[in-house]
Amino acid sequence: MTGKPLYGALAPAHREHQLQRLPNGDYICDVCEWQWNKKPLPQWDCPEVKRYGWDTAPRYLKTAKQLHRRGLRPTKRRGCYVDLMNQTHYLYDIREARPEANREARRPRAFLFPQARKEKDHDNAN
Ligand SMILES: [Zn+2]
């Protein structure tokens, strides 16, 4: 792998799998380490990180959404999985995640829920 892809105004450059042939005839990509028993279609992008089956990723790898639920933000992509809709979900090491900057701001504050309403002035009713 050489350098990072350059992102311009156009769509990002197509990232081809770096294919090797295994002794049994299967293909494997040097980069994402995914295997195929037929040559993958050339238009299939390589995620450029190790690809896992949807339930085989190590437990310390989480999606950005999973990190967000814990008040963490992702750092570097460490893997990915591809769902049934062929969407790639990147995975991040939870041990490398950082706290979300706005975590404090999102915490509900007591003063938003005043305990006592202002007492209604009693009219001078007599
Ligand atoms: Zn690949």
Q: Ligand 1 centre from 52 Cα, in Å?
A: 11
State phi, psi for 121 to the nearest 5 degrees.
-60, 135
> pTM for this structure?
0.68
- CA 97 to ligand 1 center in whole angstroms: 25
How far is ligand 1, taken at its centre, from the CA of residue 33, in Å?
Answer: 6
CB-hemisphere CA count at 13 Å for 86?
3
Tens-digit pLDDT string for the chain (126 aa) = 455 555 555 666 789 999 999 999 999 999 999 999 999 998 899 999 999 998 899 999 999 999 999 999 999 999 999 999 989 999 999 999 999 986 555 555 555 555 555 544 555 545
Nearest partner of 67 among 112, 47, 97, judged by Cα: 97
